[in-house]
């Protein structure tokens, strides 16, 4: 059965999330009060509805309690953001991710039940800064204020060596949790398999350990 999500608000963030979820095979309903935005995105999602998400009945009428999750992508309109988050949790949506405008907004969203809060512009800025400094990381996703998951090209000096031989957990204080080759991701890794040039390593660790690792690769 396809997973079902709703995205409230069609700024650049909301639109990107909605289209990405649809491309991943999910059923996606989007809601925005601007008809032009609804018309633009309707070919790319399952359902597109023009409505005011500040109205609790709009959210209830979507059958939101049957959804796997909701993305509240409005941040500039804090009242709409708070209302959509509150009503979604009240009717039993199991997972609500909300975009926050600032720290105060984030605290309110957390207080009323948001399961995850995101500052897209802030996180993109941090990711860009890390990539500029390290020159190594391909992608960086924050899991918490202190821990992240990232992708990195197999360092040249590791090619032909195994993860067991390198022992990154002990020597680098990070864990390799997967390997990607092209579009294929392997999460069951043979620690004795030699690493290949075309591999991307999916690593998890503290931000401090990951940044030190990236900086060391640049120096070497």
pTM over 0.85, yes/no: no
pLDDT at 171: 83
How many structural domains is the chain composed of? 2
Same domain, 17 and 36: yes
Domain boundary residue among 71, 101, 118? Answer: 118
Same domain, 135 and 190: yes
**CATH number of the domain enclosing 171:** 3.30.70.1450
Same domain, 106 and 67: yes
* Model confidence pLDDT, tens digit, residues 46-65: 999 999 988 889 888 887 67
pLDDT at 129: 55
8-state DSSP, 157:
G
Same domain, 77 and 62: yes
pLDDT at 172: 81
Q: Which of 37, 41, 35 lies closest to 18 in space, CA to CA? A: 41
Same domain, 93 and 161: no
E-only strand ranges, the chain: 4-8, 27-32, 47-50, 69-72, 96-99, 116-118, 137-142, 147-153, 175-181, 184-186, 200-206
What percent of the chain lies above the pLDDT cut of 70?
Answer: 84
**CATH number of the domain enclosing 16:** 3.40.50.720
* Model confidence pLDDT, tens digit, residues 12-24: 888 888 988 888 8
Domain that holds residue 142: 122-219
Domain boundary residue among 85, 118, 151? Answer: 118
Same domain, 91 and 191: no
Same domain, 109 and 130: no
Taking only the tens of pLDDT, the chain with its 220 residues reads 788 999 999 988 888 889 888 888 889 999 999 999 999 999 999 999 999 988 889 888 887 678 899 999 997 889 999 999 999 999 999 999 998 888 899 999 999 999 988 876 666 555 555 554 544 555 666 655 677 777 888 888 899 999 989 888 888 888 887 888 887 877 777 889 999 988 888 888 887 888 787 766 544 5
Same domain, 114 and 172: no
Same domain, 8 and 99: yes
Q: Give CA–CA dist 69/106, Å, rounded.
A: 18
pLDDT at 217: 57
pLDDT at 218: 43
Give counts: helices (H), strands (E), the chain: 9, 11
Domain boundary residue among 79, 98, 118? Answer: 118
């Amino acid at each position: 059965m396809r997973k079902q999500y709703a995205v409230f608000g069609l700024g650049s963030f909301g639109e990107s999330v909605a289209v990405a979820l649809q491309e991943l095979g999910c059923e996606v309903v989007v809601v925005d009060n601007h008809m032009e935005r609804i018309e633009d995105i309707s070919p790319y999602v399952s359902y597109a509805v023009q409505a005011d998400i500040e109205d609790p009945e709009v959210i209830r009428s979507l059958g939101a309690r049957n959804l796997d999750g909701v993305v509240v992508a409005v941040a500039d309109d804090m009242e709409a953001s708070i209302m959509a988050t509150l009503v979604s949790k009240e009717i039993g949506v199991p997972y609500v991710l909300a975009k926050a405008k600032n720290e105060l907004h984030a605290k309110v969203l957390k207080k009323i039940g948001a399961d995850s809060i995101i500052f897209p512009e802030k996180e993109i800025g941090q990711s860009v800064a890390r990539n500029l400094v390290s020159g190594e990381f391909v992608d960086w996703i924050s899991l918490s204020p202190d821990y992240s998951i990232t992708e990195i090209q197999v360092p040249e000096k590791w090619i032909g060596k195994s993860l067991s031989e390198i022992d990154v957990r002990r020597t680098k204080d990070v864990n390799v949790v997967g390997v990607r080759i092209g579009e294929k991701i392997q999460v069951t890794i043979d620690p004795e398999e030699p690493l290949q040039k075309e591999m991307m390593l999916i690593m998890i660790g503290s931000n401090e350990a990951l940044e030190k690792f990236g900086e060391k690769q640049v120096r070497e």
